[in-house]
Homo-oligomer: A and B are copies of this chain.
Amino acid sequence: MLERIHLAVIQAVDQHGSLTAAARRLHLTQSALSHTIRKLEHNLGTAIWLREGRSLRLTQTGEYLLSIANRVLPQLEHAESKLKQMVQGERGTLRIGMECHPCYQWLLKVVSPFLEHWPDVDVDVKQKFQFGGVGALLGYEIDLLVTPDPFYKTGLRFDPVFDYEQVLVVPDHHPLAARSYLNAEDLRNQVLLTYPVPPDRLDIYMQFLNPAGVVPKRHKTIETTDIMLQMVASGRGVAALPRWLAEEYSTRLPLKAVRLGRKGIAKQIYLGSRESDGDIEYLNAFIQLARSHEHPAAGTHR
């Protein structure tokens, strides 16, 4: 009933002094405005202006409508300009899901230049998903998934962002620290520290221990990388982590990284996204940035 055009006319007449001038401003004819306002006045049951000769004077109702116009129209105009930015992919929220605990550190390094280049794009990182990372992607809970497990499916797209080697992190003076590589048997008497995820999602089990039928002495789960490595340094156990992560921490803690198996465990991290989001500029930019920004230490493996 009270439409945008009504408010626009009232505001324009106030600003430009006449219906005719307002019509020019709004790219409509004076006739159209006259008809429109006449109908509004009829619907309201009251005049908006008093016609005094050739000029218009606002009634109390008109004054009130003008105040509404001056309050509401800027909101709509602002919304429109924001929408334009969003459509051009310059503004939005990038919701990133993480299925790779240690990757958080790497992610921070990508996010920070991204935020600089895209000041109007917010980044949100989630770590828990009811139906797994891929489910979250398909269910539009997240827009981007950082995962070591690509799950090729129609509608999804996975871009490898970097390779790395999964290694065993042990204390500096640990008996295994000097070895050039380890066998599964070597872990039989070790306490293994991992993130709290099911063993079938842990590569050290799937690719190393299980094939040899070996079970470690104990298995403890720890949420955060920092604490986990503190524990390793103090001799409470050993952990399987990306080599680059181990090397980063080894400058601060007395740690050593040892290869798992003769050839090592090779891993890749992928960024999963929906194909339907292929036209979102900032999303593509993020993937681009991520690929060009592989971890410095990653190269040492190739």
Contacts and interface: CB of A to CB of B under 8 A. Distances in A.
Nearest to A60: B92
A83 interface: yes
A42 to B, nearest CB: 12
Nearest 6 CB-CB pairs, A to B? A46-B87, A68-B79, A45-B87, A60-B92, A2-B80, A61-B86
Nearest to A58: B140
A130 interface: no
Of the four ranges (under 10, 10 to 19, 20 to 34, 35 or more), the interface on chain A belongs to 20 to 34
A206 interface: no
Copies assembled: 2
Interface of A: 1-4, 44-46, 50, 57, 60-61, 64-65, 68, 71-72, 75-76, 79-80, 82-83, 86-87, 92-93, 140, 276
Given A45-B87, A71-B75, A87-B44, A3 B2 contact: no
Contact of A83 (B64, B71, B83, B140): B64
16 contacts: A2-B4, A2-B76, A2-B79, A2-B83, A4-B4, A44-B87, A50-B140, A50-B276, A57-B140, A60-B92, A68-B75, A68-B79, A71-B75, A72-B72, A72-B79, A75-B75
Contacts of A57: 140
Contacts of A64: 79, 82-83, 86
